[in-house]
Every structure is written in C-alpha cells, then in structure tokens.
Structure 1
Amino acid sequence: MNIETIQTFLAWNLLIHAGILLFIVLLLSLGRNWVVKIHLSIFALSKDQLLRVYFNFIAAYKILVMVFVLVPYVVIRFLL
C-alpha cells in the first residue's frame, strides 16, 4: 500500500464521515421532536438528559473524525 492509496482512502473516509455528521446534525435540528419521541420511548431518560447525550455524541464523533481522519489526511497532504 503506497502513500497515494492511503491519501485517497483518508479523503473518501473524511467525505463519508462529514456526510454522516451533517446528516445527524440536520436530523437533530429539523426533526428533533420526532427523534426525541422515538428515543424517549426506548430509553429511560428525561428530555434534557437526552439532548445532552445528543450533544456529547456529536462532539465526540467530530473529535474522533478530526483526530483519526482529518489530521492524518492533512499531514499526508503536506508530505507530498
């Protein structure tokens, strides 16, 4: 596996994860009542706790994508 293959993989990986993150944010922004209603029926949480869980999930997901995909991609781009 050469460096160009890794760079291409990271670029596609970043694009896919950015799309997933955008989808999650749009879903929670536009369809919050629907999503909250579904999750409140599944989990024994209050609405405030559930919204805090959503925020923590989005923050953790974004940080993980930055650390494991964006930073290696930027480093490889500067190496070539």
Structure 2
Amino acid sequence: MTVSIVREFFMWCTIINGILLIFSALMCAFAGDWIYRLHGRLFSLPRESFNVVLYAFIGVFKIFFIVFNLVPYLALEILAGA
C-alpha cells in the first residue's frame, strides 16, 4: 500500500463524512420536530433532553470527523508535498 492510496482513501473518507456531518446538522436544524416525533414513538424522552442529545451527537461527530478524517488527510497532504 502506497502513501498515495492511503491519501486517496482519507480524501474520500473526509468527503463522505463531511457530507454526512453537514446533512446531519441540517436535519437537526431544520427537521428537529420531525426527528423528535419519529424517535418519540420509540423512546420516552422530554424535548429538552432530546435537544441536548442531538447537540452532543453533532459535537461528537464533528470531533471524530476532525480527528479521524481531516487531520490524517491533511498530514498526508503535507507529507506528499515535502
């Protein structure tokens, strides 16, 4: 496995997970009521707690995206340029 293959792998991981992160954030921002009704059928959770869970989900997803996708990709790009 070469550095260029690993770099391309991380590039596509970054693109796909970035799109999923943006999509999740937009869904939470604009379809929060629908998501709450959908999950309210399965779980008995007050709306305030549900908002905290969604906020925490987006925050953890963003941190994982940065640490496990974006940073390795940028490091490989820097190494490829050196």
TM-score (ref. length: structure 1)? 0.94
Q: Which residue number corresponds to residue 58 of structure 1?
A: 58
**Which has the bigger relative contact order, CA under 8 A and spacing at least 6?**
2
Gaps of 5+ in 1: none
Q: Structure 1 residue 75: deviation in Å?
A: 0.7
Q: CA deviation at 1:65?
A: 1.0
Identity %: 29
Runs of 4+ aligned residues of structure 1 deviating over 2 Å after TM superposition are: none
- Count residues with an aligned counterpart: 80
2-structure distance, mates of 1:30, 1:57: 16
For residue 17 of structure 1, what is the amino acid of its counterpart? N
When the two structures are superposed, what TM-score results if normalisation uses the length of structure 2? Answer: 0.92
Structure 2: unaligned runs, 5 residues or longer = none
1:67, 1:31 → 2: CA distance?
27
- Root mean square deviation of aligned Cα: 0.8
